[in-house]
């Protein structure tokens, strides 16, 4: 029985996507113009969408300083990853790996959410740049080849950087751009 459990555990580990996030993002929180929300990532939906608990404070009359927390879906601005959970569609090449990378990078972490121009998208998800400490997660996913640059005006503050990071990931054969992955054509 014990041998079967160990064998199953090893099979699961062997089937889990390998995640390599060694290239750090040059975008830092200090580069942002100001204003953010603090949150905890409670779940990664896929490579470019997460669920967070946003921390807020109520300081109105009679409220004291009570904490007000709300759950929200967040779409990482400026990037796109292969689909892995879209209803009615097959899992795209490298979708599981992109989701695993986002999970390894973000799940259970305290983050800062920074808005660009628009508050939400058509699916009512918050549109945000997501920071872990001082580093932007959106850019790190592109730099390591788990996401592509996705310019969608008017939220374009970091679009030039994302395009540059995508070019570097492609030239470095990282992630989606590797010849062993999706034939290097995401």
Catalytic residues: 75, 83, 125
Q: Name the token pair of 58.
A: 């109520």
Closest CA to 175 of 23, 12, 11, 16: 23
Closest CA to 161 of 138, 130, 145: 138
CB-based contact 106:138 (threshold 8 Å)? no
Alpha carbons 142 and 69: distance in angstroms, whole number: 30
Q: DSSP letter at 176? A: G
For the chain, list the strands marked E by DSSP: 37-46, 49-58, 66-76, 79-80, 110-114, 126-132, 135-136, 148-149
Q: DSSP letter at 155? A: B
């Amino acid at each position: 029985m014990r041998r079967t459990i160990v064998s199953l555990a090893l099979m699961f580990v062997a089937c889990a996507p390998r995640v390599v996030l060694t290239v750090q993002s040059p975008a830092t929180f200090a580069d942002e113009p100001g204003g953010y929300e603090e949150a905890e990532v409670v779940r990664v939906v896929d490579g470019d969408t997460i669920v967070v608990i946003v921390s807020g404070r109520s300081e109105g009359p009679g409220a004291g300083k009570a904490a007000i927390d709300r759950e929200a879906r967040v779409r990482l601005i400026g990037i796109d990853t292969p689909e892995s959970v879209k209803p009615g569609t097959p899992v795209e090449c490298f979708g599981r790996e992109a989701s695993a990378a986002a999970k390894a990078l973000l799940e259970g972490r305290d983050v800062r959410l920074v808005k660009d121009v628009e508050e939400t998208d058509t699916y009512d998800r918050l549109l945000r740049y997501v920071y872990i400490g001082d580093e932007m997660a959106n850019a790190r996913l592109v730099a390591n080849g788990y996401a592509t640059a996705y310019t969608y005006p008017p939220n374009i503050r970091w679009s030039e950087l994302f395009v540059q990071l995508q070019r570097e990931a492609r030239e470095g054969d990282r992630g989606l751009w590797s010849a062993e992955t999706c034939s290097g054509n995401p």
